[in-house]
Structure 1
């Protein structure tokens, strides 16, 4: 079998669903600076495309991702030696995924380590195979993790679990990941991509104004930064939308709705 050609993350679009695939299988899908830039560009394209209503994030090969390239991580710390603080470019990339307006399904096809664990936590639904494992080695490497990643760990997994993973560098298997909430469902390996597609196309068929508005509100609530006025505007927009009229009509007529996002 011909070896998979490594590249920056690959974007493909099928109807209303976009798929981003990490694509360095020989390096366990390690995320290099070019990959960070490409993933941000993919997010920018997806965020501005009203026809895309759901996103799948997955990896090529037997690993999801080994996280950031440690060599370039060191270089980023040395890049601005006179600066009081540095900006972690990996954190910028993960924030771009979290801030996508569309729901994101993470299909964990294999091991997930380091910064890739935060990339998965930035997604809205995480599916994993029975063989998946996660590990956060920051403390063993002398790395102080960036604030956005620590916030996601605490808000998604809870304070005590975040301490276990950051301070004690515990390795979790699939069942433990399910118990902590790191993954939402364990799926047989040969069914993982189909399960991710099913979830993506299901949410893509729902009302995008309501879905995207509620995703934004939930993320803001998790960070305790909800703006009540902005929330009220989104709620009112949905109440006055064509989508809610279509949704009610479809419910009464017992047919699938046809939402247009307006």
Structure 2
């Protein structure tokens, strides 16, 4: 008889690191698989209040082998698996929306394999950095599953229809360098140390900007990316631009530019 899979003990590891909130998916016994607790905690964490000092969220996996193996299927019999998968998909969709709607930019740090629903979470991030050799893929077709449209649209937006079909219909995972060429990730780092260094450098660059400018720009880009009517895009842009132009941070940014010094933004 095959050995039983170890029980799931999923959790999030969360720590502040300067301007960044570092969040790691931790379920090491099951390749960081996404169980109910992890997904619910992601929704609560990213949708709730956070320290004012936090300007960026870095989302990675615990350890150095896996970002996450995707939804935790457990050892349920086939007649129970459909209901479990459907419930998991709904919770996964909520977690992906929490990432996309987070008031702070979220950078995906793919320190290892990102498969299935885990890759959907990564695609909801503002952008993604991957370690060379990390494998990314969605084996839905090989499991006999039709993927949710909400998840598919993120891939189509990043890769286009043809490349999304190739990824989903073949079920073949790609390594980080090919993922970069396909548009699945935006940067590849040589190893784990370089990966986190690149992620923290990106976080520092974002944190150096005015928070209201970052927030407003993200909202407008999101509306454009979702194909919103131009009137809706303008309705999103107008208050964001007005708030930024009327802010103390705009005055500070202008003064710092004229005085040739680094600005000190306060988010107001």
Instruction: Give TM-score scaled by structure 1 length.
Output: 0.89
1:254 aligned residue: 260
68, 89, 97: which one aligns with 1:65: 68
2:43 aligned residue: 40
219, 237, 241: which one aligns with 2:243: 237
CA RMSD of aligned residues (A): 2.3
C-alpha deviation, 1:254, in angstroms: 1.1
Pick closer, same or farther for the CA change 1:49–1:147 going to 2, 3 Å.
Answer: farther
CA contact (8 A) 1:101 1:216 kept: no
1:168 aligned residue: 170
C-alpha deviation, 1:71, in angstroms: 4.0
| Structure 1 Cα separation of the partners of residues 235 and 131 of structure 2 | 41
| Runs of 4 or more above 6 Å deviation | none
C-alpha deviation, 1:233, in angstroms: 1.0
1:78 aligned residue: 83
Is there any run of 5+ residues in structure 2 with no aligned partner, and where?
A: 1-7
C-alpha deviation, 1:257, in angstroms: 0.6
| Structure 1 Cα separation of the partners of residues 208 and 265 of structure 2 | 7
C-alpha deviation, 1:214, in angstroms: 0.7
Q: In the TM superposition, what whole-angstrom CA distance separates every residue of 1:133-192 from its partner, at most 9, and x where no partner exists? A: 111111111212122211101111111111111122132112210101111111121211
Corresponding residue pairs, total: 253
Pick closer, same or farther for the CA change 1:86–1:127 going to 2, 3 Å.
Answer: closer
Instruction: Give TM-score scaled by structure 2 length.
Output: 0.87
2:135 aligned residue: 133
